[in-house]
Amino acid sequence: MSVKEAIAVGEAEDFAGDPESAAIAELMQRYFDATYEGDVPALREIFHPENRLAGMRGDEERFSSLEQFLGRVERRPNQDAFNFQVLSVDRSGRAGVAKISYRYHGVDFVDYMSVLELDGMWRIVAKVFDGYLVPDSD
C-alpha cells in the first residue's frame, strides 16, 4: 500500500447515513489529495475564490489569501503528508464545517473547514487551522 493509499483509507464511509455529510467528507479527501499532489487546478475547484486561511503554526500566526496558499502548495507537493483523517462533519442545510487532521511537512495540523453548497457543489469558503511541530525522533 502506498503512502497515498494509506492516507485515503475509508474516510467518507463514516458519513454514509447522510449523503450531504458524506459529500463534505469526500470534499475533504479531495482537498487532501490535491494538496498532497500539488494539484492547483483541483484546489481551485475545491476552494471558493474568496476563501481566506487563518491559523497558527507553532507560535506563529498565519493569514493568507487563496493565491498565497496555492503558491505554497505548488512549490511543495508530495512531501511527507500522512495520517489524514476526517474527524467530524457538522452541517445544517447548505452550510457546514469539517474538522480534519493530518501531518504535513513535519507539522501536525487540525483544520476547521467551513463549507457552503453553492450551485449544487460543496466548496471550502474558509480554512482555520492550528499546527504543532513534531519533534525529531532519534
- Mean pLDDT, the chain, rounded, equals 84
Which of these, 57, 108, 54, lies nearest to 80 by C-alpha position? 108
Cα–Cα distance between 9 and 39 in angstroms, integer? Answer: 20
Q: What is the DSSP letter of 78?
A: S
Q: Which three cell numbers stand for residue 76?
A: 511543495
Cα–Cα distance between 60 and 55 in angstroms, integer? Answer: 8
Q: C-alpha distances in angstroms, 103 versus 29, 107, 136? A: 14, 5, 13
Kindly report, residue by residue over 96-105, the tens digit of the pLDDT: 999 999 887 7
Higher pLDDT, 63 or 9: 63
- All structural domains of the chain, each given as residue ranges with its CATH number in brackets, are 3-133 (3.10.450.50)
pLDDT at res. 70: 94
Q: What is the 3-state secondary structure (H, E, C) of 7-60?
A: HCCCCHHHHCCCHHHHHHHHHHHHHHHHHHHCCHHHHHHHEEEEEEEEEEECCE
Quick check: 119 pLDDT over 50? yes
Kindly report, residue by residue over 60-95, the tens digit of the pLDDT: 999 999 999 999 888 876 666 678 899 999 999 999
Q: Report residue 42's pLDDT band, with 50, 70 and 90 as the boundaries.
A: very high
Kindly report, residue by residue over 11-40, the tens digit of the pLDDT: 445 666 789 999 999 999 999 889 888 899
pLDDT at res. 2: 31
pLDDT at res. 8: 37
